Structure 1
Amino acid sequence: MADHYEVLGVSRDASQDDIKKAYRRLARQLHPDVNPGDDAAERFKLVTHAYDVLSDAEQRRRYDMGDSGGFGGGGAAGFGGFGDIFDTFFGGGGGGGARTRPRSRAERGQDALVRVTLDLGEVVFGAHRDLEVDTAVICETCEGGCCQPGTSPVTCDICHGSGHVQRTVRSLIGNVVTNQPCATCQGHGTTIPYPCATCQGQGRVRARRTVSVDIPAGVETGLRLQLPGSGEVGPAGGPNGDLYLEVTVEPHDIFSRDGDDLLATLDVSMTDAILGTTTTIDALDGPVDLELRAGVQAGDVLTIKGRGITPLRGHQRGDLRVGVHVVTPTRLDHKERALIEEFAKKTKAPAPHLAEFQQGLFAKLRDRFRNG
């Protein structure tokens, strides 16, 4: 049997591109529809088989190691070209089955991922973002057609528009005719003689575009939002993929989040804790009046209904829960100390003594926050 490299006219160290180009050139010359001679038909079979072997990395490796490279790749592993035979008998060969239709150039574009950072205030009600995305967009020159304006794809002169070519494979049961994707047009059924100069025949180019996004309330770090059809446009103007937004919420200096509730700690002076007071605190969405009853204790939790976060799926906002931290003065002048001592005498406060173990303030606040 003739050497496959000699049949294709390439060197033994030829690249896959060189092998493909050599096959295309010879196929155009020897295809039976172009050159009906018997000699041309035989040479076409040899060229096609040589390409089948050398275009497959594993078959080429075995051939270079001394395998005969017979039809189907030779040797026990590839004997008889069973894959092609199965294609023939189970829908892949001849007769206009699904695999014999030309392959569309237009394909779905890839999905894209964009990361967006929000502050906690934007999580309460949601946010709007105009995002700059570097992605593939449809080529304005050819409008996704891949051809230079004024030109169009032409029917492949090898497969005549079917996208496939018939090949005869010798097997244990005799000669079997199979359909294979046309190597000249890559199965599309057409070729593009004059590709668009802007997109090099891809039908799309890289560009920056703006995507306007309304981010719902209640999102949290790690959540991904899907925007169908906002990803990359596909080759040849194919449908867009999807765009995914991955959310990161920045930590807040004062407020933290517990589900749909907001948590904060309020520093209260000893006198305000004893006498009670009314104060105004700044919540994430505006001021809130807060009343402290007389005798409020460190670790008490005050709940302000409906001033938390709007849930991702729902409308009832969570609560703002404020833990009380009583601040004990550390520096007193003589007059202040005298007043405190007089107060202590009148209240007859008990002397320090052992009592049931009490966990720390922040641990108590954490448990009270969680337990409501």
Structure 2
Amino acid sequence: MKKDFYEILGISKNATPEEIKKAYRKKAIEFHPDKNPGNKEAEEKFKEAAEAYEVLSDANKKAKYDQYGHQAFDGGGFGGGQHMNMDDIFSQFGDIFGGAFGGGGFSGFGGGGGQRRVKGSNLRIKVKLTLEEIANGVEKKVKVKRKVQAKGVTYRTCPTCNGSGQIMKIANTILGRMQTAATCHICSGSGQILDQKPAGADAQGMLLEEDTVSIKIPAGVVDGMQLKVAGKGNEAPGTNSIPGDLIVAIEEVEHEFLKREGENLHYDLYISFAEAALGVSKEIDTVSGKVRIKLEDGIQSGKILRLKGKGVPSINAYGNGDLLVHVNVWTPKTLNKEQKQFFEKMLTDENFIPKPEKSDKSFFEKVKDMFS
């Protein structure tokens, strides 16, 4: 079972962004590969801290994590950071260290002073899902236009930073001589510049190509949730670069008959006076197909029938919600002469006089039960 992100960083849920950053910096320095060469346990703790920081430092991701836990980012190859490798961490969070490691932030995985890897930019798309797709999970194939390195492009070492991706600066301060590092403005931190490019490539040796990406979407996602497909964003220039990610925003398409409320679904069922009095069998829609339910004779308008497990699966894998069927007795708006005569006779009929029993709940009691 995965550790709690707040526990990993040793902070409370009410921690400020600055406290989160400070806690991550402390943990990452403690378990950094340069300080723990060959220590696999330290490497795993280093990755855990980076994963926790990636989620908790982002307001949207933090809100989803607080609501849904780790399941908000799990399933189908998506993640808040669990699929990050060391290069991801170095490229994304290197600037948080300042001069902690030789003044150059992260040195790169596997040893001090190595070349820093540059990550390509992320791509963002929106995927529309029906309620049935959300309830059952689905695999979608989408076409995206992403930047890729052109075939035949070559790069050479940046002469400005000598391939390090960073430029060292020494400044005299009241505290003495301070060494700082800044990203090389010539190669943008990649340590390489364009050498030769084929026809059609841009100034960085990149081409825009259409790619088909398969996205496995887990059951129970909610409208507005963002999922990540690692490595399917734009590529970056240079032989030592890694591609960005594809961020998938979920948009739920409104169902014609079913209304969603968390994991529960609501269905309005309309029946006639005659059907309510005599009882009837009705076919209704669910996310797994049509089902037939039996209504007892004398059923009252406002009755709520609960179909267990016929709702939407929980994103936290806690089982399915329920389908709540709201019974509405339809009152005819126009009557012919014969029908009017019938109901006029029934005005004083004992069977037609309302006689609610104590077991018949009021509207407010039904609403309270529905949300409890």
Letter in 1 for 2:225: L
What is aligned with 2:146? Answer: 135
Going from structure 1 to structure 2, the CA distance change for 1:230 and 1:341 (only over 3 Å counts) comes to same
How many residues were matched structurally? 262
Q: CA RMSD in A?
A: 4.4
Letter in 2 for 1:216: P
Mapped to 2, the partners of 1:350 and 1:185 lie a distance apart of: 86
Deviation at 1:266, TM superposition (A): 0.6
What is aligned with 2:325? Answer: 322
Going from structure 1 to structure 2, the CA distance change for 1:339 and 1:159 (only over 3 Å counts) comes to closer
What is aligned with 2:230? Answer: 228
What is aligned with 2:277? Answer: 274
What is aligned with 1:239? Answer: 242
* 8 Å contact from structure 2 (residues 152, 197) kept in 1: no
Q: Structure 1: 5+ residue runs without aligned partners?
A: 1-86, 148-152, 353-357
Letter in 2 for 1:224: Q
Letter in 2 for 1:292: L
1:108-187 to 2 correspondence within 5 Å? 108-142=119-153, 146-147=154-155, 153=156, 156=159
Q: Does 2:340 align with 1:337?
A: yes
What is aligned with 1:370? Answer: 371
Mapped to 1, the partners of 2:258 and 2:171 lie a distance apart of: 74
282, 306, 311: which one pairs with 1:303? 306
What is aligned with 1:292? Answer: 295
1:31-42 to 2 correspondence within 5 Å? none
SS across alignment from 2:132 = helix
Letter in 1 for 2:135: V
Going from structure 1 to structure 2, the CA distance change for 1:190 and 1:121 (only over 3 Å counts) comes to closer
Deviation at 1:277, TM superposition (A): 1.4
After TM superposition, the score normalised by the length of structure 1 is 0.57
* 8 Å contact from structure 1 (residues 117, 249) kept in 2: yes
Deviation at 1:323, TM superposition (A): 0.5
Mapped to 2, the partners of 1:259 and 1:188 lie a distance apart of: 45
Q: Please list the CA deviations of residues 1-25 of structure 1 after superposition, one character each: whole Å capped at 9, or x if unmatched.
A: xxxxxxxxxxxxxxxxxxxxxxxxx
SS across alignment from 1:122 = helix
SS across alignment from 2:238 = helix
* 8 Å contact from structure 1 (residues 101, 163) kept in 2: no
What is aligned with 1:219? Answer: 221
Deviation at 1:225, TM superposition (A): 0.8
SS across alignment from 1:236 = coil
Identical columns (%): 27
Q: Structure 2: 5+ residue runs without aligned partners?
A: 1-97, 356-360
SS across alignment from 1:233 = coil
SS across alignment from 2:228 = strand
* 8 Å contact from structure 1 (residues 136, 205) kept in 2: yes
Mapped to 2, the partners of 1:216 and 1:168 lie a distance apart of: 51
Going from structure 1 to structure 2, the CA distance change for 1:115 and 1:169 (only over 3 Å counts) comes to closer
Q: Does 2:253 align with 1:250?
A: yes
1:43-122 to 2 correspondence within 5 Å? 91=102, 103=115, 107-122=118-133
Letter in 2 for 1:307: K
Q: Please list the CA deviations of residues 152-182 of structure 1 after superposition, one character each: whole Å capped at 9, or x if unmatched.
A: x3795x888788999999999xxxx999999
Deviation at 1:242, TM superposition (A): 1.7
Going from structure 1 to structure 2, the CA distance change for 1:219 and 1:178 (only over 3 Å counts) comes to closer
Q: Please list the CA deviations of residues 26-60 of structure 1 after superposition, one character each: whole Å capped at 9, or x if unmatched.
A: xxxxxxxxxxxxxxxxxxxxxxxxxxxxxxxxxxx
* 8 Å contact from structure 1 (residues 229, 241) kept in 2: yes
Q: Please list the CA deviations of residues 294-316 of structure 1 after superposition, one character each: whole Å capped at 9, or x if unmatched.
A: 12111110111222112223162
Mapped to 1, the partners of 2:107 and 2:320 lie a distance apart of: 55
What is aligned with 1:60? Answer: none
Deviation at 1:283, TM superposition (A): 2.3
* 8 Å contact from structure 1 (residues 233, 241) kept in 2: yes
Letter in 2 for 1:110: S
* 8 Å contact from structure 2 (residues 107, 115) kept in 1: no
Runs of 4+ in 1 over 6 A off after TM superposition: 97-100, 158-172, 177-191
SS across alignment from 1:246 = strand
* 8 Å contact from structure 1 (residues 230, 241) kept in 2: yes
Mapped to 2, the partners of 1:312 and 1:260 lie a distance apart of: 9
Mapped to 2, the partners of 1:171 and 1:346 lie a distance apart of: 99
Larger radius of gyration: 1
What is aligned with 2:9? Answer: none
Deviation at 1:321, TM superposition (A): 0.8
* 8 Å contact from structure 1 (residues 112, 244) kept in 2: yes
Deviation at 1:191, TM superposition (A): 6.2
* 8 Å contact from structure 2 (residues 129, 252) kept in 1: yes
